[in-house]
Amino acid sequence: MKIYKKGADASYTLGVFPTIELLKNQPDLVKRVVVHSSIEKNKGYPLIKELCEKHHIAIDVHDATIKKLSPKGNCYAIGVFHVYEKNLEEGNHVVLVNPMDMGNMGTIMRTMLGFGIKDLAIVRPAVDIYDPKVVRASMGAIFSLRVKYYESFEDYHNEYGHHEIYPFMLKGAKNIHKVKPTGNYSLIFGNESSGLDDSFLNYGQSVFIPHTELIDSLNLSQSLGIGLYHFTSAQFENKEVLR
């Protein structure tokens, strides 16, 4: 098993929890599961065994592979899977234009899943979502999302221009608190360092997130979390506290 390189046709999870999420959500794409000899001490192992038996997936005990692929010493399981791409479905989307930070990408995926948004469009150039660092940062949320890359925002817009388009910009024309969607929408976010350029003022309704003048701006994952909280608030307003 080789260390993952961008463009490879297979990647892998790092850790018990993301491996379980892979087995639960994308079992048909799993090539095999590799575990450490001490994994029986981990409370997640019975579920890994159950899911592998259910889907006829081999489990290999191989400490050397775990040590080679995992940058940390607390990794007990690796799930090897075929790299894939899924078409987006009609509904609400997040669109990321040129995202480059692996940790941010994983956090964004987990945040999207938490707010029930499962369709993610990514405009290249962009981070490789199948890098194991992204998969790990997402805590396996990636396996519950539909993600598609586009060569330009225009390519995405040609497919989903009928959506309500909301670019998040410092120069946004409307305060986010004054915006309420009435149909399917696409929330557009720019690069971590440069945001969206002025051309996005020509798409849909540009919005800004108000904050004090004590900071210049919010970072990408913060902005996305606030945006998703606002746009999905109606479906959660009567939800009870999680126990």
> 226: helix, coil or strand?
helix
Task: Find the length of the chain.
Answer: 243
The range of the structural domain enclosing residue 36 comes to 10-82
> Taking Cα atoms as reference points, which of 143, 152, 2, 151 lies closest to residue 84?
143
> Which of 82, 112, 145 represents a domain boundary (last residue)?
82
Tell which of 82, 110, 140 closes a domain.
82
Sign of CA dihedral 159, 169, 143, 8: positive
Q: Which of 219, 198, 209 is nearest to 168 (CA)?
A: 209
Distance, in Å, from the CA atom of 188 to the CA atom of 165, rounded to the nearest integer, reads: 7
CATH of the domain at 31: 3.30.1330.30
Q: Residue 146: beta bridge partners? A: 119
pLDDT of residue 166: 98
Phi, psi of 40 (to 5 degrees): -60, -20
What's the pTM value of the predicted model, to 2 decimals? Answer: 0.93
- What is the distance between the alpha carbons of residues 48 and 79, in angstroms, rounded to a whole number? 10
Handedness of CA 32, 10, 39, 46 (dihedral sign): negative
Tokens of 70: 């995992």
Amino acid found at 232: T
The answer on 182 and 62 residing in a single domain is no
In a domain, 1, yes or no: no
What does the pLDDT read at residue 9?
A: 95
φ/ψ (deg, to 5) at 129: -70, -15
> Could you read off the pLDDT tens digit of each residue along the chain, which spans 243 residues?
789 999 899 999 999 999 999 999 999 999 999 999 999 989 999 999 999 999 999 999 999 999 999 877 789 999 999 999 999 999 999 999 999 999 999 999 999 999 999 999 999 999 999 999 999 999 999 999 999 999 999 999 999 999 999 999 988 889 999 999 999 999 999 998 889 999 999 999 999 999 988 988 889 999 999 999 999 998 877 777 655
